Structure 1
Amino acid sequence: MAIAGTGIRNRPLTCLLLLLPAALSGATYALLAGDLPEMTATHWSSTYPDGFTRTAVFVPVCIGLTVVGAITGMFSLKLRNKPALLMMLLFAGGLLAWSAAGVFVSSAVSTALAETPETAVLGGMMVLLIACALLGIAPLWASGIYQQYTRQSNEDRQQRIDAAQSVQRTDAVEAFAEPQPDSRQAEFKQTMAAPWWMWMLCLVLFATLIVAVVLPFLAGGSHDGSLASVILPVALSAAVCVLMLGVIWIRVSIIGDRFRVSSALLGIPMRTIKITDIESVTSEKIEPMMWGGWGWRIIPGGSAIVMKEHEGLVFDLKNKKRFAVTIPDSRQAANVLNARMG
């Protein structure tokens, strides 16, 4: 979705917020270079550190990440005609730069102030870490792109709702003009498959699962220890594989007073909505990035089952939640639901 006349507000401030982490990290290193030992404390699980990294590696990696984040964010500002990609890259760049700066400054200062890396105490540096993580969204917010994108998205959605309602009113008039089957009694069933790359991802996960199970036996030796060591990854792979298989091919049905989405491959029910729980339902074009991506998504204020950029149903429920699902003939489904609601 392109936003007409998209502009970067507070561009100097946005650029400053992207470059500041690299400057902060560089200044910290310049001040503490003579006090940093060979090893730097980089991980704490309690009062004292339990993880260390060679300073010669830690310094260039952290400062390099702040530079990469700044470059990513600066590059994103050129994508004015692709606001969704702009927001994603700007957010990723800002978060990377500020997170790397927070880790570097807190670890370097704590190590330099201690007698040895083993006695370094994070202490108040934890506040700095949290502050840097929060500042990661500052460039995106300062640019104003998120605010413009949200406002334009709401306007576009309202236009689609108005258009869909106009079409539904026209269909209702035509239904009175000539005899039509009673939509309140009709049943609606359709299936929709995910794009090819999601099927390929399932195959890769399934192959990984097989290798994880078979590899301990091919390695020889005692199977007891090998099996114990792969139980967790095998279980996780199996769970992810089942979830992926469940969502790559869905079936949508309207039977009686219920709208149901289930897995066409495994038969697992994914979402059931009673007609009485629906405030409104419209046929709209569903864009994955507007609903958190592809697959079965849970987002603030609602959820969605998105196969690809395609037409689908968007529900506004009486509990103030929203739900969306991509299906081939969403207008027919919306007419059936609205007839039963009416």
Structure 2
Amino acid sequence: MEAAMHTVKNRPWLYVVLVLPVVIVLGIYLPLANQLPELTATHWSSTYPDEFTRTEILVPVAIGLSAVGSIIGLSALALTRRPALLLTLLFIGSLLSWTTAGVFIGSVVPTVLAETPQTAVIGIWMLPMLACTLLALSPLWICGVYQSYSKQLQAQRQARINQAQGIAAPAPQGTALPEVGEFRETMMAPWWLWMLGLVVAGIGIFALFDSYNRSGQANWTATIISLVVCLFVWPLVLGLCWIRVSITEQRTRVTSALFGFPLRTIKPEEIESVTSTEIDPMTWGGWGWRFFPGGSAVVLRRHEGLAFELKNSSRFAVTIPNSEQGAEQLNAIMLKNGS
């Protein structure tokens, strides 16, 4: 049986993202070539570097690795009939290329700016290094293959489950659907997610008091991080432990039942299809509020839930009781609206 072909979207952008690391490495090296010392700082244990690499070795290795990563990523785009291999090679190539570019930025620029390699300070140059690592994931999002491949695997898995359980295929659209009303359900996370939220809160509060109690030290970084944990991270983690899903004719809304902040709102006209199915955390990126190439999910445990296919080719899933009733409700709304 011939394998299905998966379309690679946004090819011009992919070419730019995959080739850009090589351009960055060369763009930094060429104007700074005459200013680079014999040694380049390549590792920091604290403020100052503790490891160095000979520049004559670092430069060709960085150019070579970034080029090899770009070639691996570009060659992967031809494997449209082998999506798993395409995604694997695309990730490896992009990660290699962008990580190399990030390390090169964080090594060469601080070394040139310092009087000697031993006095180089990484400082704000950690930010472009982190940005390069995040950009390494972008090809998986913009190529569109992950979305279609994941959708295909989910459909095949559901078909096998239906076949094993003797469940017939879904009824055609002409079948009578329930009267459109409002669907509301809540769901709680397992105990360990609640404990995680409490632990995060405890760490934030302890770090905040500890930073204030250090006499004679202005530890603003620790104070800011502690405030972020206390004001944003802890409420977010604990707020995800109890969620509410409401479905009306105007929208499907997922919110925190504990604190009330919204997690996702979907209008009926944005939906391509919606089904009630078992939501496996490992299939949808893990537990909690997850984001992955081609979609997102709110997953509290392995449980039944709603799986959305949206018209913008993205996916969304949420674990919720009585999901079959929710799916029927949404299909009735879509049928009524002519979606």
Interval of TM-score (by shorter of Structure 1 and Structure 2): 0.5 to 0.7
- TM-score (structure 2 length as normaliser): 0.54
Kindly provide the CA deviation profile for residues 166-190 of structure 1, in whole angstroms up to 9, marking residues without a partner as x. 45429986x6xxxxxx723332211
Assess, with a 3 A threshold, how the Cα gap between structure 1 residues 190 and 160 changes in structure 2: closer, same or farther. Answer: farther
Assess, with a 3 A threshold, how the Cα gap between structure 1 residues 156 and 217 changes in structure 2: closer, same or farther. Answer: closer
8 A contact 2:284–2:290 mirrored in 1:
yes
The residue identity in structure 2 corresponding to 1:310 is H
Matches within 5 A, 1:120-269: 153-159=150-156, 163=162, 166=168, 168-169=170-171, 183-216=178-211, 218-219=213-214, 221=215, 228=220, 230-238=222-230, 239-269=232-262
2:171 is paired with a residue whose SS is helix
1:169 is paired with a residue whose SS is coil
Assess, with a 3 A threshold, how the Cα gap between structure 1 residues 335 and 172 changes in structure 2: closer, same or farther. Answer: farther
1:290 is paired with a residue whose SS is coil
- Give the aligned partner of residue 41 of structure 1: 41
Kindly provide the CA deviation profile for residues 298-336 of structure 1, in whole angstroms up to 9, marking residues without a partner as x. 223222111122222111122332211111222121111
Identity of aligned residues (%): 47
1:201 is paired with a residue whose SS is helix
- Give the aligned partner of residue 327 of structure 1: 320
- Give the aligned partner of residue 286 of structure 2: 293
Deviation at 1:286, TM superposition (A): 2.1
Assess, with a 3 A threshold, how the Cα gap between structure 1 residues 333 and 234 changes in structure 2: closer, same or farther. Answer: same
The residue identity in structure 2 corresponding to 1:233 is I
2:282 is paired with a residue whose SS is helix
- Give unpaired runs (5+ residues) of structure 2: 1-37, 53-83, 121-128, 138-145
- Give unpaired runs (5+ residues) of structure 1: 1-36, 45-49, 57-83, 121-128, 138-148, 176-181
Task: Find the aligned partners of 1:227 and 1:41 in 2 and give their Cα distance.
Answer: 27
- Equivalences, count: 252
Deviation at 1:282, TM superposition (A): 0.9
Task: Find the aligned partners of 1:43 and 1:282 in 2 and give their Cα distance.
Answer: 50
Task: Find the aligned partners of 1:205 and 1:169 in 2 and give their Cα distance.
Answer: 46
- TM-score (structure 1 length as normaliser): 0.53
The residue identity in structure 1 corresponding to 2:225 is P
Assess, with a 3 A threshold, how the Cα gap between structure 1 residues 253 and 232 changes in structure 2: closer, same or farther. Answer: same
Task: Find the aligned partners of 2:186 and 2:297 in 1 and give their Cα distance.
Answer: 16
Task: Find the aligned partners of 1:53 and 1:218 in 2 and give their Cα distance.
Answer: 30
8 A contact 1:168–1:335 mirrored in 2:
no
The residue identity in structure 2 corresponding to 1:234 is S
Deviation at 1:241, TM superposition (A): 0.8
Task: Find the aligned partners of 1:42 and 1:309 in 2 and give their Cα distance.
Answer: 44
Task: Find the aligned partners of 1:229 and 1:155 in 2 and give their Cα distance.
Answer: 46
Structure number with bigger Rg? 1
RMSD: 5.3
Assess, with a 3 A threshold, how the Cα gap between structure 1 residues 307 and 218 changes in structure 2: closer, same or farther. Answer: same
8 A contact 1:259–1:275 mirrored in 2:
yes
Larger CA deviation: 205-214 vs 285-294: 285-294
